């Protein structure tokens, strides 16, 4: 059974500092890995999707890496801003099986202080 | 207007009530999903529909009954719920089953 862990559970940084968020998963047989952002009481917004054959994906200040063999992904957010304050979730999609049964981590709650 | 809408946004119900949650996607996607997000627990997949056919039922109690009348609409019918069912219920859709999922804003459900 796939298990996804995100450490730390919460993170507070001053504005301008780079953010590094970690995600680990126990089963390396994955199809893809996604990073999402969730604002309090709101739905999820997809940030980046990395296919299992890829090593990283970039979008603006965001960069996500994937090391499938070690079961790890890292989300980097450069030059953090107060608007980056949110909970960040990673989710892995299985290689086998019907549907798109994403397994989510517990999230990292980020606070960027002005 | 987001591509995935959910109504109502907030719902308070007693354990003997029957209510329904509605999700509508305006993105032309073929797959739709129901998730449950409880406090202090990771997001959990409940149901997956692909082309209006249920392809995944993640061991969800029968007091939750999904319905997908067409590829744009998804319902979650609720009856005789328990207080522990209080959570944020999120709907999502994707073009195909392995594509990026787009989420609605959620329905905050409180069961008294």
Residues 6+ apart with CB under 8 A from B40: none
Which pLDDT score, from 0 to 100, does residue B98 have?
75
Closest CA to B87 of A41, A109, A102, A104: A41
For residue B27, which residues of chain A lie inside 8 Å, CB to CB? none
Give B2's pLDDT tier (boundaries 50, 70, 90): low
- Token pair, residue A86, equals 């949110």
Tens-of-pLDDT digits for all 114 residues of chain A? 889 999 999 999 999 999 999 999 999 989 899 999 999 888 899 999 999 999 999 999 999 999 999 999 999 999 999 999 999 999 998 876 655 678 999 999 999 999
The beta-carbon neighbor of B90 closest among A31, A43, A107 is A43
Per-residue pLDDT, averaged over B3-29, amounts to 94
Which pLDDT score, from 0 to 100, does residue A42 have?
84
Give B46's pLDDT tier (boundaries 50, 70, 90): very high
Cβ of A101 under 8 Å from any chain B Cβ? yes
Higher-confidence residue of A85 and B99: namely A85
Residues 6+ apart with CB under 8 A from B38: B44, B86, B87, B88
Cβ of A105 under 8 Å from any chain B Cβ? yes
What residue has token string 């608007």?
Answer: A83
For residue B58, give the 3-state DSSP assignment: coil
For residue A43, which residues of chain B lie inside 8 Å, CB to CB? 2, 4, 6, 90, 103-106
Q: Which residues sit opposite A99 in a β-bridge?
A: none
The DSSP result for chain A, as a single string, is ---EEEE-SEEEEETTPPEEEEEEES---EEEEEEEEE-TTS-EEEEEEEETT-SEEEETTEEEEEETTTTEEEEEESS--GGG-EEEEEEEEESSSSTT--EE---EEEEEE-
Which pLDDT score, from 0 to 100, does residue A99 have?
54
Cβ of B48 under 8 Å from any chain A Cβ? yes
Which pLDDT score, from 0 to 100, does residue A100 have?
64
Asked if B112 contacts B15 with a C-beta cutoff of 8 angstroms, the reply is yes
Residues 6+ apart with CB under 8 A from A97: none
User: How far apart (Å, rounded) are the C-alpha atoms in residues B48 and B23?
Assistant: 13
Higher-confidence residue of A101 and B15: namely B15
For residue B5, which residues of chain A lie inside 8 Å, CB to CB? none
pLDDT digits 0-9 by tens, B54-98? 777 778 999 999 999 998 999 999 999 999 999 999 999 999 877
The beta-carbon neighbor of B98 closest among A31, A42, A91 is A31
User: How far apart (Å, rounded) are the C-alpha atoms in residues B96 and B88?
Assistant: 24
Cβ–Cβ below 8 Å for B100 and A107? no
For residue B13, give the 3-state DSSP assignment: strand
Cβ–Cβ below 8 Å for A43 and B31? no
The DSSP bridge pattern shows strands B44-50 and B18-25 to be unpaired
Cβ–Cβ below 8 Å for A101 and B48? yes
Which pLDDT score, from 0 to 100, does residue B17 have?
87
Which pLDDT score, from 0 to 100, does residue A95 have?
76
Cβ of A106 under 8 Å from any chain B Cβ? yes
Asked if A6 contacts A106 with a C-beta cutoff of 8 angstroms, the reply is yes
């Amino acid at each position: 059974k796939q298990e996804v862990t995100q450490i730390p559970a919460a993170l507070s940084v001053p504005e301008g500092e780079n953010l590094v968020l970690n995600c680990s998963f126990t089963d390396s047989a994955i199809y893809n890995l996604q990073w999402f952002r969730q604002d309090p009481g709101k739905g999820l917004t997809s940030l980046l999707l990395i296919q299992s054959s890829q090593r990283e994906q970039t979008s603006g200040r965001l960069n996500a890496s994937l090391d499938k063999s070690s079961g790890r992904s890292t989300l980097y957010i450069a030059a953090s801003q107060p608007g980056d304050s949110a909970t960040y979730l990673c989710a892995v999609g299985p290689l086998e099986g019907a549907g798109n049964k994403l397994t989510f981590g517990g999230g990292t709650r980020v606070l960027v202080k002005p | 207007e987001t591509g995935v809408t959910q109504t109502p946004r907030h719902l308070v119900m007693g354990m003997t009530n029957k209510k329904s949650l509605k999700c509508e996607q305006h993105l032309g996607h073929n797959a739709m999903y129901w998730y449950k997000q409880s406090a202090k627990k990771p997001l959990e997949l409940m149901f997956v529909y692909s082309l209006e056919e249920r392809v995944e039922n993640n061991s969800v109690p029968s007091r939750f009954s999904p319905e997908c009348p067409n590829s744009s609409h998804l319902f979650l019918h609720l009856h005789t719920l328990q207080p522990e069912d209080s959570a944020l219920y999120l709907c999502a859709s994707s073009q195909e089953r392995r594509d990026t999922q787009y989420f609605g804003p959620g329905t905050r459900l409180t069961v008294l």
